[in-house]
Structure 1
Amino acid sequence: MSKPHIPLDELRAQVAACHRCPLADGRTQTVFGVGDPEARVLIVGEAPGKNEDLQGEPFVGAAGKYLDELLAIAGLTRGDVFIANVLKCRPPGNRDPRPEEIELCTPFLREQTRTIDPEFIVTLGNFSTKFILKTEVGITRLHGTLQRAGRFKVFPIFHPAAALYDSKKREALENDFATLGELLGTRPPAAAQPTA
């Protein structure tokens, strides 16, 4: 089945649904969907931070630079993927969203997966992994293991921001992105990698 050809601006309008969401009043989430609508890989991040909201782009700053390095390990660039940020509202007091709040976000993310129709969904961090897989099992146990959500292959990975302060997570992230590249065929298997 061929993917629908929708102009990216129209796609963004479809999935940047914060202004239609009753939770969005007074909240800051604005970034939703950027990249190649024909991408084989949909990357689902956490909620965008203040800089992302201000600049209208996901993954800016240190975590963004590191994501670019990680994508390169997998043999990818941002032009090869579509990045969606989960609408994780930041209520007063910055408490975690309640299950019923998360449920309101689900149709908008589902719309993205249907429109992009990716081969792989990469979930970055605990929130997006639980959101996509509908599980309470954390990222520490699931990272780097291929999972299934309906017809989609899901590959959970630590969030790049977590590795900025934790060298163990950095090693895990880089290994997992290498594995992702092998699964996609954008990077040769480890045995075929040149040795230093």
Structure 2
Amino acid sequence: MYDSLRKVYRDVCSCERCGYAKTRKNTVFGEGSLHSPIMLIGEGPGAVEDETGRPFVGPAGKLLDKMLAAIDLDRSRVYICNVVKCRPPHNRDPEQKCVDQCIGYLREQVRFIRPKVIVCLGRIAANHILHEKQGITRIHGEIYERKNFIIIPTFHPSALLRNEELKKPAWEDMKTIRQVLKNETNIYEA
């Protein structure tokens, strides 16, 4: 267990626990408000994120920014990270052995940020955070109450870029997220 998020960050930057370390350009730790009541978790970095070392800055990130703005949130007021901190080659789903090596870093991020609401962006994040294997079309928009936080899965923004039909259910999910945030946090009072 770490005594600071900075130490977790340093370990991620030097991590070579799995094969993704050999092909990455940068690790992508996470960014945003360290005191945010909401944490958004995706599956792993894409090509633009690998280049910049920042999460959700490519086309999916631009859409995510618009989704947040639609519920009156700015990206600077949330914390955004991924299940794995290095880009899986060819944008494949993260391999389980690599997730197993990275998941401890994510747990530490959750422990230090202490969000009241976790939004899982896509199936990979939802399955690993909820510890159950289900399709995102089945569980999106559902509210899962846990001891220390609420989990709400929704579609990954990249899925919305590929399939326009998912935008309406994703908007319904965002309205659910906004309502939960209003009920459980003071993020809209600032």
**Identity %, equivalent residues:** 39
In the alignment, which residue of structure 2 is the partner of 1:81?
Answer: 78
**1:90 CA displacement:** 5.5
Out of 19, 25, 32, the position equivalent to 2:21 is: 25
Q: Name segments (4+ residues, structure 1) moved above 6 Å.
A: none
Measure the CA separation in 2 of the matches of 1:179 and 1:39. Answer: 18
Letter in 2 for 1:126: R
Matched positions, count: 179
1:88/1:97 contact within 8 Å kept = no
**1:75 CA displacement:** 1.9
The alpha-carbon distance between structure 1 residues 93 and 33, as it changes in their structure 2 partners (threshold 3 A), is: closer
The alpha-carbon distance between structure 1 residues 88 and 38, as it changes in their structure 2 partners (threshold 3 A), is: closer
In the alignment, which residue of structure 2 is the partner of 1:56?
Answer: 53
1:90/1:96 contact within 8 Å kept = no
- The gaps in structure 1 that reach 5 residues or longer are 1-5, 187-196
- Of 168-177 and 38-47, the range deviating more from structure 2: 168-177
Q: Deviations over 1:124-178 (max 9, x none)?
A: 0111111111111111111001113442210000001111121221111111112
CA-based RMSD of the aligned residues comes to 2.5
The alpha-carbon distance between structure 1 residues 175 and 93, as it changes in their structure 2 partners (threshold 3 A), is: closer
The alpha-carbon distance between structure 1 residues 93 and 75, as it changes in their structure 2 partners (threshold 3 A), is: closer
Out of 175, 179, 183, the position equivalent to 1:178 is: 175
Measure the CA separation in 2 of the matches of 1:74 and 1:101. Answer: 33
**1:50 CA displacement:** 1.1
Measure the CA separation in 2 of the matches of 1:163 and 1:92. Answer: 21
Measure the CA separation in 2 of the matches of 1:61 and 1:95. Answer: 16
Letter in 1 for 2:14: H
In the alignment, which residue of structure 2 is the partner of 1:166?
Answer: 163
SS in structure 1 opposite 2:141?
coil
TM-score after normalising by structure 2: 0.83
Measure the CA separation in 2 of the matches of 1:94 and 1:59. Answer: 14
Q: Deviations over 1:25-71 (max 9, x none)?
A: 31326111100000000100121111111122211232222111110
- The gaps in structure 2 that reach 5 residues or longer are 184-190
The alpha-carbon distance between structure 1 residues 145 and 68, as it changes in their structure 2 partners (threshold 3 A), is: same
**1:100 CA displacement:** 3.5
The alpha-carbon distance between structure 1 residues 95 and 184, as it changes in their structure 2 partners (threshold 3 A), is: closer
Measure the CA separation in 1 of the matches of 2:98 and 2:58. Answer: 28
1:43/1:84 contact within 8 Å kept = yes
Measure the CA separation in 2 of the matches of 1:92 and 1:175. Answer: 32
Say whether residues 1:109 and 2:106 are aligned partners: yes
Letter in 2 for 1:117: R
Letter in 2 for 1:39: S
In the alignment, which residue of structure 2 is the partner of 1:192?
Answer: none
